[in-house]
Amino acid sequence: MAVLILAVLMTLLAVFFMIEMGKGNRSAAAELVLSKAWNNKFSRQDIEEKKEIFLKNNAKYHTCKEKKAAKKVKGWDKQISDYEKKKEEYLSGRTFSLVDGIALFGYQLLVDLKVNADSDMFRKLTDSCEHSGYIELERGQETGDRKNSYIYAYYIIASLFSYAFIGVFLAIFLALVMMAMGKDMNSVLILSLVAFVGMLLLGYIPYDGLRVKAQKRQDAIDRDFPNAISKLALLTTAGMNIVKAIEETANSGETTIYLELQKVVKEMHQSESVGAALIHLQCRCSNKYLDKMITVISKSYVEGNTNLADNLRAINAECWLDKKHNSRRMGEAVQNKLFVPTMLMFIGILVVIIVPAMSGFSF
């Protein structure tokens, strides 16, 4: 009876999957192909960043022998070349596999479930896309009538739903095969669960990876921005031109906020206006004090505000005060987390001391 029920359920799932795939439209397929191209480009960029950091650290600290370092770099170069080739193939329409088409099911399922940009999941993932550091996903970038960040978030969530559904189907299929072979129920359940979890992870890893990358980047910006604004305020107070002050500040560090300021300087050197370059910075980074700084600098540059140094010092003071409060809150949170382990250690010490004493054990 159980085999019959599972067989019927698997058939219904297969029919539903084919119907949903058939309902997919061309715009969904186009967005899927574009997202796959972006995905390969982002993977290439991540490896390029990893390679650059390795070369910089190795040149400074000599942590790896020359031959081993060359082998690592050669491997990364091959991966970079492969990702670039795949990106070009997707953009030119030369490749689209059956595995790529799996996500189309998720696209249509999201439409049927009426899951859109208003949902909390989409809103958070779209924000993560915008703050991931990938230029294509910046807040102002659009393809057609939709933001790139929304297009890519839709692709990530559609893939997650698709792989979860495939996981259920695969789990039922393997359960049927195992039961037909006469395996015990424990083996059937374990294998089915492994199959479902494995497929679910295939969809969840890109989703979680994007969120984690955006959060790490956000934390790095929040952590280092007070130092950057302090340097900028100091230089403008000393009478330095704001453009030169931004350039000097950008070249004074190698963490995320300084790298972002270096992009601003690069854009200004490429005939981009100060205001436009700062707006691009605002699209890539999310920080309320950064927003205030950009507003003050843009207004000063356009209207000739003579109080620029005073305004930057005010933002600097407010920023450091907030950082002090955040540090205090983080310290309290750490203390709360350490309370239970500390109590367990204390109880363990009491047990070690009191139990031998009460049992008459003599040291």
Domain end (from 158, 191, 214) = 214
Higher pLDDT, residue 131 or 361: 131
Domain containing 83 equals 2-214
Secondary structure (3-state) at 239 = coil
pLDDT at residue 293, as a whole number: 93
Distance between CA 208 and CA 153 in Å, rounded?
12
> Which DSSP symbol is given to 136?
G
Distance of alpha carbon 34 from alpha carbon 152, whole angstroms: 9
Are 61 and 171 members of one domain? yes
Alpha-carbon span 297 to 243, nearest angstrom: 10
Q: How many CB atoms lie within 10 A of CB 126?
A: 23
Q: Do 232 and 169 share a domain, yes or no?
A: no
**Measured between alpha carbons, how far is 129 from 179 in angstroms, rounded to an integer?**
44
Question: Among 214, 245, 279, where does a domain finish?
Answer: 214
Asked if the model's pLDDT at residue 72 lies above 70, the reply is yes
pLDDT of residue 363: 45
The lowest-confidence range among 127-136, 251-260, 266-275, 350-359 is: 350-359
Last residue within a domain, chosen from 173, 189, 214: 214
Mean pLDDT of the 76-81 span: 96
In a domain, 332, yes or no: no
**Percent of the residues in the chain that have a pLDDT greater than 70, as a whole number:** 96
The answer on pLDDT for 304 being more than 70 is no
Assigned domain for 265 exists: yes
Mean pLDDT highest for which of 2-6, 43-47, 175-179?
43-47
Residues 138 and 131: their CA atoms lie apart, in Å, by: 7
Domain for residue 356, yes or no? no
Tell me, yes or no, whether 57 lies in a domain: yes
Please give the average per-residue pLDDT across 355-361, as a whole number: 64
DSSP count for the chain of H helices, then E strands:
12, 2
Lowest mean pLDDT among 22-36, 195-209, 285-299, 338-352: 338-352
**Per-residue model confidence (pLDDT) at position 97:** 83
Q: Are 14 and 148 members of one domain? A: yes
Assess if residue 308 is contained within a domain. Answer: yes
Tell me, what's the pLDDT at 327? Answer: 76
Residue-wise pLDDT for 169-186, tens only, equals 999 999 999 888 888 888
Beta strand 142-143 with 146-147 is: antiparallel
Task: Please give the DSSP secondary-structure letter assigned to residue 303.
Answer: H
Q: Is residue 345 part of a domain?
A: no
Are 177 and 260 in a shared domain? no
